[in-house]
Structure formats: structure tokens, C-alpha cells
Amino acid sequence: MKKIIALLLASLMMIVAAGCGGGDQAKSSGSGSGGNGKKITMGFSQIGAESEWRTANTESVKQAAKDAGIDLQFSDAQQKQENQIKAIRSFIAQGVDIIAFVPIVETGWDTVLKEAKDAKIPVIVVDRDVKLSDDSLYVAKIGTDSVTEGKNVFKWVDEYMTKQNKKPRDGGSQFNVVVLEGTVGSSVAIRRQEGFKDAMAASADASKYNILASQTGEFTRQKGQEVMESFLKSYGPKIDILFAHNDDMALGAIQAIEKAGLKPGKDITIISIDGVKGMFQAMIDGKSNCTVECNPLQGPLLMETAKKILNGETVEKLVYVDEGIFPADVAEKTLPERKY
Ligand code: GZL
């Protein structure tokens, strides 16, 4: 009998010891390794809901978190950087395992990301870029190549104006371009403009184009329409091309162009970036000429990267999602397969 009790006690001791060891690991992985099956908690700070693209980006992140079994603490910053900083601080206070955020503008993040690093919470930057004094403040960036998007815009429209044998509407020697820019200070607005201008400067005959006006439409339809109305008032008969940094502003501008009695996509050639369904429909209706894709479906890659980081695996510092170029003549056949 004594032997049985001793055996029972010994095995009980072993079970308890194993449990504690697991508990210690759990604690160390509580810092977020996720390696022992502990449910990962991710704090995610989103900009807001300014465009169809942003809505698709949010839906992709939320669905991917569900599919990955990750507990997502989601915060909508209503377009304000200070709300994003507050959200990141609250994620740190909650002790989430990992933080991901879309930086509405590229500067002003050093202090709060240093606080996350001091709290040993890894950070993933999503969609837009940050400008930091120390790039070790984030582990990975998942997004899109805004400079290439801007370059693709110019290359496509330059080819289109030549192929269509277009002539400047004012009878001059230059095509006059107006630009609806994205959010002031955002990396995408800065880089898309840079890419467009770099491609123009590198083209066979840069003097063929003249940027008449360039102003932010804040990535929204409403503001895009308002700014396009002011462009039309100032330069109406001279405008040959509209480059909008996103489809939503182009869709707003189309309404302004029609209100001014002009034909969008014909009198004024229109090209924008994102590739949202609303723009495919506008191209089918003959009201716009091309959209350069910027893929918002970054959720799965974000969750996969988060798990790798929390499992102690090394990840790429910068990963771009794939994107294409969609002229109006492929819009009808492509729309049914579009996911956003
Ligand atoms: C692009 C993304 C931009 C989209 C807009 O990566 O940050 O923000 O182009 C969105 O539609 O508002």
C-alpha cells in the first residue's frame, strides 16, 4: 500500500512540475510567442473608413484574424493620428501580444513605437509607410509600392494619349494635367506623386505634359468632387487629364465633370489608383479610362506574419502585395472576379 501511495505522489509531483513548466513557458510565450497554442491577441489601429479601398482593407484584416484564430482588438482612428497613438498606448496597457497599424501619415510615430518596444510588443506596419529615426521600432511592413503605382499611372496615360492620337484641348503643345492628391503627409500620396513625376521626367518628351494644378482631395469622393469643381472653374477648357491618387476621388470628380457639361473619360482622360468595384463600373459606363490596382486584401499576409514573429521566426522587413493595371477595355470581363 505504502508503495502505491509513494508512486501516486511521485506521478502527481511530475504532473504538477510539468504544469508549472508549461505555465512558465506560457508566461514567456504570454509575451506572445503563441507557440504553445495560447490565443494570440493583436491590437490593430485602422485609419478610418474614407474610401471603398479602406473598407475592403478593414474587412480583409477582420476576416483574416477570425480565420487565423487571432483575437483582434480593432480601433478606428476617424482619420486622426492622435487617436492612433492613443489606441497603440491602450494596446500596450492591455498587454496585447502584437500591434499592427496603418500610419495615416508617415511621421510622428517614434515615441509611441519606442513605448511598444520597451514593453516587448512587436509592431507590424500595414499599408502605408512610417518615417522613423530607428527602423528597429517595427518588425515588418506589409503594403504596396506607391512609387511604382505612380509610375504605372504616367506610363499608361502617356501611351494612351499617343495611341488615341489625342490633341491638347486648348490647341497648345502640351497636355494639361490636374492632380487630386491623397491625404497630406501620407506616404502613399507623397510616393504616388513622386512616381508620376519621375516617370514624366524620364519619358521621351517630358515637355508634352504640364501639371496645371495639384491639390489634396483627402482620398474621399466628396472632397474629390469639390476640388475638381474648383479646377474646372479655374482651368475648365484647358484640362486634358485627371490623375486621382485614388478611385474614390476620381468618382467624385466624374460627377463634377458631368455637372460642368463635359464628358468624363472622353473630354478629360481619367486615371486613378486602387481598382475598386465602383471604378470598374465607371469604366464600363465609359466615364473613366484606367485604374492602377493597389491591393487592400492584406489581412491573410498580416496574420501569417504575426504568427511567424510570435513563433520567433524571422520575417521579411518589407513585403509588397501583388497589383495590376486595368484599362477600361478589360473592365466588363474583369468586374465579376474582383474581390473588392
Ligand atoms: C493605399 C491606401 C490609400 C488608398 C485610398 O495604400 O493607403 O488609402 O489608395 C485609401 O483609397 O484611402
Q: What is the pLDDT of residue 321?
A: 84
Q: How far is the CA of 301 from the centre of ligand 1 (A)?
A: 18
> Does residue 187 line the site of ligand 1, with CB under 6 A?
no
Q: Inform me whether the pLDDT recorded for 2 exceeds 60.
A: no
> Does residue 96 line the site of ligand 1, with CB under 6 A?
no
Look-up of cell digits 486584401: 297
Q: What is the pLDDT of residue 322?
A: 80
Q: What is the pLDDT of residue 206?
A: 86
Look-up of cell digits 495560447: 38
Q: What is the pLDDT of residue 190?
A: 98
Q: Inform me whether the pLDDT recorded for 333 exceeds 50.
A: yes
> Does residue 54 line the site of ligand 1, with CB under 6 A?
yes
Q: What CA dihedral angle connects 83, 84, 87 and 91, to 10 degrees?
A: -170
Question: Where do the domains of the chain lie?
Answer: 41-144+296-322, 146-294
CATH code given to domain 41-144+296-322 = 3.40.50.2300
Q: What is the mean pLDDT of the chain?
A: 91
Superfamily of domain 146-294: Response regulator (3.40.50.2300)
What the block records as the C-alpha cell of 155 is 506610363
Q: What is the DSSP letter of 328?
A: G
Q: What is the pLDDT of residues 246-261, one digit of tens each?
A: 999 999 999 999 999 9
> Does residue 273 line the site of ligand 1, with CB under 6 A?
yes
- pLDDT band, very low/low/confident/very high, at 323 (cuts 50, 70, 90): confident
Compute the distance between CA of residue 330 and CA of residue 16 in angstroms, rounded to an integer. 65
Q: Inform me whether the pLDDT recorded for 280 exceeds 70.
A: yes
Q: Inform me whether the pLDDT recorded for 20 exceeds 70.
A: no
Mean pLDDT throughout 270-294? 98
339, 57 in Cβ contact below 8 A?
no
Q: How far is the CA of 33 from the centre of ligand 1 (A)?
A: 31
pTM, rounded to two decimals: 0.88
Mean pLDDT throughout 169-197? 98
Q: Tell which atom from ligand 1 comes closest to the C-alpha of 220.
A: 12
Q: Where are the alpha helices (DSSP H) in the chain?
A: 2-30, 52-68, 81-94, 110-118, 146-163, 187-202, 221-235, 247-259, 277-284, 299-310, 331-334
CA atoms within 13 A on the CB side of 202: 10
> Does residue 181 line the site of ligand 1, with CB under 6 A?
no
Mean pLDDT throughout 160-165? 97
> Does residue 127 line the site of ligand 1, with CB under 6 A?
yes
Q: Inform me whether the pLDDT recorded for 8 exceeds 50.
A: yes
Is-same-fold flag (41-144+296-322; 146-294)? yes
Q: Inform me whether the pLDDT recorded for 315 exceeds 70.
A: yes
Q: Inform me whether the pLDDT recorded for 6 exceeds 60.
A: no
Helix (H, G, I), strand (E, B) or coil at 167: coil
Q: What is the pLDDT of residues 67-102, one digit of tens each?
A: 999 999 999 999 999 999 999 999 999 999 999 999
- pLDDT band, very low/low/confident/very high, at 177 (cuts 50, 70, 90): very high
> Does residue 272 line the site of ligand 1, with CB under 6 A?
no
Mean pLDDT throughout 47-68? 98
